[in-house]
């Protein structure tokens, strides 16, 4: 392993962007944000799911800035909460994994990512994160460098161009249509009407069910004047329960209900928006470990939140 974010990792940015030994603020912010997002994706995908994962421990901070084109150095944040997990071991693992990813970037053969992340979901996550990071610099040449006590930097890796066409070859759109009618465990809901006449759900039991379930895919969530653009394709199950439509995401533990499928979809989007806003309005120490993981995952899959000002 050639890099260590515990000590600091330096990126030498050349070309027009870094020729004055400075960086425009927007470029620096984009680089830092996309690098931090890539590190968090790697942490979530590689750390054992049985462990407590606090992505705040994988935030990075600017620790140095040197001339020689522009050379910002980033380091893992020192602002950590001790006691939740073996943070040192988790960071060592993430360092190792991001080192492997940067080796792929150095080779320029980004199709090798398939060897590191073998499932479509994992590969999609890393591909999106790495593409966003490598394009943060525009067309400027970028190297990962070290000084080792010398006045001039020594190259560790070069970040080769990640072409959009190669990215598209790596991405896989996961779609489900209709499941075969086989016996499986399902959830039984009790549907009651609220004071406003809207259906409310209550989980009452799990049981064996051999009904056909219709699967629905979403790459964005629309609610009011907001649109959540997602990094992944979300697959939901659509079923009928006591003459009500129920749409549920087992991944996010979100359920929408309605008299029609359109009402159920609106209810689902409303619930998604409520959970996203609620969890992000709270500090991590106000959430249980399970809710923190849902919050982190929501923040990872939401690429962007767009607002239509005309509707405000």
In SS3 terms, 146-190 reads as: ECCCCCCCEEEEEECCCCHHHHHHHCCCCCCCECCCCCEEEEEEE
Q: In 111-125, which positions are buried (b, 16+ CB within 10 angstroms) versus exposed (e)? A: eebeebbeeeebbbb
From first to last of its 312 residues, what are the pLDDT tens digits of the chain?
799 999 999 999 999 999 899 999 999 999 999 999 999 999 988 988 667 677 888 999 999 999 889 999 999 998 876 554 688 999 999 999 999 999 999 999 999 999 999 988 889 889 999 999 999 999 999 999 999 888 899 999 999 999 999 999 998 865 433 334 333 444 444 445 455 554 455 544 444 444 445 667 788 898 888 899 988 878 888 887 767 788 888 777 788 888 788 888 888 999 899 989 988 998 888 888 878 888 888 888 898 899 876 544
Number of alpha carbons in the 13 Å side-chain half-sphere of residue 215: 13
Report the DSSP beta bridge partners of residue 192.
200
Report the DSSP beta bridge partners of residue 237.
215, 248
Sign, CA torsion 16/18/23/29? positive
Q: What is the pLDDT of residue 189?
A: 47
- What are the domain boundaries of the chain? 9-170, 184-311
Burial, 297: exposed, middle or buried (Cβ in 10 Å; 0-12, 13-18, 19+)? middle
Q: How far is CA 308 from CA 219, 263, 299, 312, in A?
A: 18, 22, 21, 7
For 16, the token pair is 């027009």
Q: What is the pLDDT of residue 293?
A: 81
Residues with Cβ within 8 Å of 151's Cβ and at least 6 positions away in sequence, in order, are none
Q: What is the pLDDT of residue 84?
A: 47
DSSP state of 197: S
Residues with Cβ within 8 Å of 243's Cβ and at least 6 positions away in sequence, in order, are none
Q: What is the pLDDT of residue 214?
A: 66
Nearest to 35 by CA among 161, 132, 146: 132
Beta-sheet pairing, 226-241 with 154-159: unpaired
Nearest to 129 by CA among 58, 24, 184, 213: 58
Q: Are 107 and 38 in contact (CB under 8 A)?
A: no
Interatomic CA distance for residues 243 and 227, integer angstroms: 29
Q: What is the pLDDT of residue 160?
A: 96
- Strand, coil or helix: what is 214? strand
Output phi, psi for 80, to 5 deg: -115, 155
Q: What is the pLDDT of residue 81?
A: 64
Q: What is the pLDDT of residue 55?
A: 80
Q: Cβ of 26: how many Cβ atoms within 10 Å?
A: 9
For 103, the token pair is 């080796």
Output phi, psi for 53, to 5 deg: -115, 115
Q: Cβ of 60: how many Cβ atoms within 10 Å?
A: 19
Nearest to 6 by CA among 44, 47, 63: 63
Report CA Rg, the chain: 23
């Amino acid at each position: 392993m050639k890099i260590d974010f515990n000590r600091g990792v330096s990126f030498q940015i050349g070309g027009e962007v870094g020729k004055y030994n400075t960086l425009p603020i927007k470029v620096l912010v984009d680089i830092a944000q996309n690098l931090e997002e890539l590190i968090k994706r790697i942490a979530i995908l590689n750390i054992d799911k049985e462990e407590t994962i606090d992505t705040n421990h994988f935030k990075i901070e600017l620790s140095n800035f040197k001339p020689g084109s522009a050379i910002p150095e980033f380091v893992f944040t020192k602002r950590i909460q001790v006691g939740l997990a073996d943070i040192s071991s988790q960071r060592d693992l993430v360092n190792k994994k991001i080192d492997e990813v940067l080796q792929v970037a150095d080779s320029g053969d980004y199709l090798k990512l398939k060897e590191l992340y073998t499932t479509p979901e994992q590969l999609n996550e890393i591909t999106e994160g790495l593409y966003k990071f490598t394009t943060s610099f525009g067309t400027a040449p970028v190297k990962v460098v070290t000084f080792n006590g010398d006045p001039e930097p020594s190259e560790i890796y070069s970040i080769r161009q990640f072409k959009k066409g190669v990215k598209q070859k790596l991405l896989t759109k996961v779609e489900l249509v209709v499941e075969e009618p086989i016996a499986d465990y399902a959830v039984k809901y009790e549907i009651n009407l609220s004071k406003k006449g809207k259906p409310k759900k209550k989980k009452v039991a799990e049981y064996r069910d051999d009904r056909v379930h219709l699967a629905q895919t979403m790459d964005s969530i629309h609610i009011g004047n907001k649109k959540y653009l997602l990094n992944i394709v979300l697959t939901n199950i659509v079923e009928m329960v006591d003459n009500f439509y129920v749409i549920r995401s087992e991944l996010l533990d979100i359920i929408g209900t309605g008299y029609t499928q359109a009402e159920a979809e609106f209810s689902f989007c409303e619930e998604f928006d409520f959970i996203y806003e609620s969890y992000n309005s709270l500090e991590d120490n106000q959430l249980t470990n399970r809710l923190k993981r849902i919050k982190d995952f929501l923040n990872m899959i939401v690429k962007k939140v767009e607002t239509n000002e005309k509707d405000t």
